[in-house]
Structure 1
Amino acid sequence: MNILLTGGTGYIGSHTAVVLAQAGHKVILFDNLCNSSNEVVGRLEKIVGKKIDFAEGDVRDTALLIEVMRTHQIEAVIHFAGLKAVGQSVADPILYFANNVQGTISLLQAMQQLQIKTFIFSSSATVYGEPVYLPYDEVHPTKPINPYGDSKLQVEIILRDLAQSDAQWKIACLRYFNPVGAHDSGLIGDDPNGIPGNLMPYLSRVAAGTLKYLNVFGKDYDTRDGTGERDYIHVVDLAEGHMAALDFLNKHAGLHVVNLGTGKPASVLECVRAFEKACGKPLPIEFAPRRDGDLPIYYAKADLAKQLFGWTAQRSLDKMCESAWYFEQMHNK
């Protein structure tokens, strides 16, 4: 298939591009490079051994999307393009609704015009909000506690209504938990611009000495060791989940909302210890107050992904840390 990946040079998009290209699909990357680099394209070409097409642009540019999709005869779209920092969304909600909601509407309008009706959406476990029960399953109530989560849920509602309006649409909303780690080649990984907002790339930079210490936000949560617990999933497992979802959509129309996680939470301190094991040295940490919008614990019930897609996460926390550290070393030679 010819598949457009919006946000394709980003962290999850680039790893999914590898999995799809190695399976024989033709991937076309579309990205405005606001939180990534076009250098990723060359690295992807090294990994897969063939040319990868890239178009620079913003998903709110409907006319450009139509031109790119028509030129490359796109048959399916995987939509990764979106902003994802919770704190930034609280500070600037309009920015988040413009990028994440308006951008998706623009993309769907372009797809409708060209009668392309296979769509995978990069959603998030943040749509669930405060847990009514754990683990989160796909029927858990949705009540986000920050504008980032609100923006993801608004897109899900749009997709629900779109699927109800036209039975030809084949849509998967994949609710991610916490993607971490990197490709085994060390050529691509989580490399955000500026100071990382997520745990694993921050730990990588502390281990490399480019950041002095890790701030651990909160040590008095009702968890195993007082620090927040999250369901961390290796980014390659997540990428493989997208290909499994695409294979499923080829045979099933309608909207399908599915968690992609491991079902096994790890605390911040457990991640620090695993990373220390990977890099072979102690990492300095300092405790800081809790952040607004952070939950004490959340993790997935991932049974539906196995049932529908035949997919389960395979890679351990140790593997996540080892691959992230290898990427940091390769990337900063």
Structure 2
Amino acid sequence: MRILLTGGAGYIGSHVALVLLERGDDVVVIDDFSNSSPESLRRVERLTGKTLQVIEADLADHAAAEAALRDVDFDAVIHFAGLKAVGESVAQPSRYFRTNLNSTLNLLDIMREKDVRKLVFSSSATVYGTPDAGVERLDESQPVGIGITNPYGRTKAFIEQIIADVQVAWPELEAVLLRYFNPVGAHPSGEIGEDPAGIPNNLMPFVAQVAVGRREKLAVFGDQYPTVDGTGVRDYIHVMDLAEGHVAALEHLSPGVEAYNLGSGEGASVLEVVRAYAEASGREIPYDIVGPRAGDLATTVADPAKANEHLAWRTTRSLADACRDSWAWQVKNPNGFDAA
């Protein structure tokens, strides 16, 4: 199959590109590199010994995207392109709505024009907003769009609805919505991994930068939650397991729209992640307990049973594996792709 990856140079997209190339697919990446580096794709090519087609264009610009893809053939699309920092979305909501929604609308228009009917969308567990009281393991029956606390999450929920509405008008469309929980880790080679711009928004890359000496200490937001140690519990999924989930989704497409949680089904607290990373790196991770952030939940863990059953997919890598692979990436690339 020839697969278009929008935003394919990013953290998750680059790992999916690698898995697709390794299994024999042809890969086309369209990316404007506003939040990623072309170096990630060069490394994917080196690791696989295969080449991919790279198109530099802004998918949110309809004319530019249409021109860039006019003569490009592909059989399926995995849609990663978009802005993804929760805090930034609060400060710049119009930019997030404009970029993320326009990118998707333009992509769907181009797919319809080309009669490309297969779509996997990179969604997020943030679409669940504030879960029903007492619910800690989230399955796909949870309401979507209720109590979402930031514009980033709302863009994901809106896009899910857009895809569903387009599918009603275009019944041949085969779409899967993958609701990620907390992607972590890196390719075990240490050649590709998460390279956040500026201060990391997510826990593990921040911990990694503390371990390597780029940051002084970690701020742990709250220790008053009803959890194993008082700190927030989340479901962490190794990025390679996540990448394999996209392949499974491609293999199980059919007319309609289906949503699947991609998570491990197990939770780890902030301090459990800190201890696991300290063990993997052999470094002390200094931290301070500070006040909780507004809107943070005590526990958010996936129920991945639907993906386990319908996609024949499940996670096989542990939190310790993710810490080890993240550390290998961090040691090899202390300044990310910038030093390449």
Question: Using the alignment, how far apart are the partners of 1:290 and 1:103 within structure 2?
Answer: 34
Shift of 1:102: 1.8
- The residue number in structure 1 matching 2:89 is 89
- The residue number in structure 1 matching 2:251 is 247
- Note if contact 1:86-1:293 (Cα within 8 Å) is conserved in structure 2: no
Shift of 1:114: 1.4
In the alignment, residue 150 of structure 1 is paired with which amino acid?
A: R
- Note if contact 2:57-2:68 (Cα within 8 Å) is conserved in structure 1: no
Question: 2:109 matched to 1:114?
Answer: no
- The residue number in structure 1 matching 2:303 is 301
Question: Using the alignment, how far apart are the partners of 2:290 and 2:34 within structure 1?
Answer: 29
Mapping 1:57-206, distance limit 5 Å:
57-132=57-132, 133-142=135-144, 143=146, 144-206=148-210
- Note if contact 1:22-1:48 (Cα within 8 Å) is conserved in structure 2: yes
Shift of 1:134: 2.5
Question: Using the alignment, how far apart are the partners of 2:165 and 2:108 within structure 1?
Answer: 12
Shift of 1:294: 2.0
- Note if contact 2:60-2:100 (Cα within 8 Å) is conserved in structure 1: no
- Note if contact 2:90-2:151 (Cα within 8 Å) is conserved in structure 1: yes
1:258 corresponds, among 250, 256, 260, to 260
Shift of 1:177: 0.2
Deviates more, 1:114-123 or 1:66-75: 66-75
Mapping 1:26-37, distance limit 5 Å:
26-37=26-37
Matched length: 331
Secondary structure, counterpart of 1:30 in structure 2: strand
Secondary structure, counterpart of 2:289 in structure 1: strand
Question: Using the alignment, how far apart are the partners of 1:81 and 1:135 within structure 2?
Answer: 28
Secondary structure, counterpart of 2:27 in structure 1: strand
1:319 corresponds, among 294, 318, 321, to 321
Question: Using the alignment, how far apart are the partners of 1:234 and 1:30 within structure 2?
Answer: 24
Secondary structure, counterpart of 1:264 in structure 2: coil
Secondary structure, counterpart of 1:322 in structure 2: helix
* Cα deviations by residue, 1:242-269 (Å, 9 ceiling, x for unpaired): 00000111xx211011100011011110
What TM-score, normalized to structure 2? 0.95
In the alignment, residue 48 of structure 2 is paired with which amino acid?
A: V
What TM-score, normalized to structure 1? 0.96
In the alignment, residue 239 of structure 2 is paired with which amino acid?
A: V
- Segments of structure 1 that go 5 or more residues without pairing to the other structure are none
- Note if contact 1:62-1:110 (Cα within 8 Å) is conserved in structure 2: no
Shift of 1:200: 0.8
Question: Using the alignment, how far apart are the partners of 1:282 and 1:293 within structure 2?
Answer: 29
Question: Using the alignment, how far apart are the partners of 2:296 and 2:312 within structure 1?
Answer: 32
Question: Using the alignment, how far apart are the partners of 1:310 and 1:99 within structure 2?
Answer: 33
Shift of 1:84: 1.5
- The residue number in structure 2 matching 1:228 is 232
Shift of 1:64: 3.3
Secondary structure, counterpart of 1:71 in structure 2: coil
Shift of 1:163: 1.5
Shift of 1:72: 2.9
Shift of 1:281: 2.2
* Cα deviations by residue, 1:254-290 (Å, 9 ceiling, x for unpaired): 1011100011011110000000000012211112222
In the alignment, residue 195 of structure 2 is paired with which amino acid?
A: D
Shift of 1:69: 3.4
Once the two structures are aligned, what percentage of the paired residues are identical?
Answer: 47
- Segments of structure 2 that go 5 or more residues without pairing to the other structure are none
In the alignment, residue 71 of structure 2 is paired with which amino acid?
A: T
Question: Using the alignment, how far apart are the partners of 2:6 and 2:129 within structure 1?
Answer: 26
Shift of 1:17: 0.3
In the alignment, residue 269 of structure 1 is paired with which amino acid?
A: L
Question: Using the alignment, how far apart are the partners of 1:68 and 1:239 within structure 2?
Answer: 26
* Cα deviations by residue, 1:94-147 (Å, 9 ceiling, x for unpaired): 111111112111111111111111111100000111121231110111212221
- The residue number in structure 2 matching 1:22 is 22
Question: Using the alignment, how far apart are the partners of 1:41 and 1:216 within structure 2?
Answer: 34
Deviates more, 1:102-111 or 1:58-67: 58-67
Question: Using the alignment, how far apart are the partners of 2:98 and 2:306 within structure 1?
Answer: 31
Shift in CA distance, 243/237, structure 1 to aligned 2, threshold 3 Å: same
Shift of 1:40: 1.1
Question: Using the alignment, how far apart are the partners of 1:113 and 1:171 within structure 2?
Answer: 17
Question: Using the alignment, how far apart are the partners of 2:267 and 2:251 within structure 1?
Answer: 28
Question: Using the alignment, how far apart are the partners of 2:288 and 2:276 within structure 1?
Answer: 17
